Amino acid sequence: MSTIVRLLETFTALVKPAPRTPRGLASYLRHLGVVGLFFLAIADSTPIPTFAGPDILITILAARQREPWYYYAAVATLGSVIGAYFTFRMARKAGLEYLNRKFGEHRVARLLVYFQRWGTGALVFSSLVPFPFPTSAFFTAAGVLN
């Protein structure tokens, strides 16, 4: 009996459990850590909807990792600024005619009137609102209006 037990112990020592692979986009980004947060923050500042993805990922990473929370906040801020710049440059290159065709003249005109009235204040306000807000529309308006 003891030889069977020793044989089983030897066999179990040789067999390692399979490594867990992330399933789904959320677990994959969590698995990537700071790199996933950086790219998710870039996507969040473009017209791609992420539904508060960076906020949720910062919370998860800050709770599970050793780095302090402000490290993740700084990475997300950097990614968000880069994404906003991409949106700004794309809108400047596309121009007003493209936006009118894509989103309708009435919507674009209403956004541009608001942006012309408040200017940079509209950008600041759209970035400071605590609930998910389409900031990319204001970055686009800034790009179109120069």
Distance CA 119, CA 117 (A): 6
pLDDT digit string, tens, across residues 2-47: 777 777 777 666 666 656 666 777 777 778 889 999 999 999 888 8
Domain boundary assignment for the chain: 21-145
CA atoms within 13 A on the CB side of 55: 8
| Assessment of whether the complete model's pTM goes beyond 0.75 | no
Q: Is the dihedral of CA 79, 80, 81, 86 positive or negative?
A: positive
Most confident of 20-29, 77-86, 115-124: 77-86
Cα–Cα distance between 44 and 121 in angstroms, integer?
Answer: 20
Q: Which residues contact 90 (CB under 8 A, 6 or more apart)?
A: 140, 143
> pLDDT band at residue 144, thresholds of 50, 70 and 90?
confident
Alpha-carbon gap, residue 5 to 8, rounded angstroms: 5
**Nearest-CA neighbor of 29 among 46, 48, 53, 49?**
53
What span, in angstroms and rounded, lies between the C-alpha atoms of 8 and 139?
Answer: 64
The confidence score (pLDDT) of residue 49 equals 81
Q: 120-128 and 135-145 are packed helices; what angle lies between their axes, rounded to 10 degrees?
A: 160
Please give the pLDDT value at position 41: 92
Q: How many Å from the N-terminal Cα to the C-terminal Cα in the chain?
A: 83
- Which residue type sits at 41? A
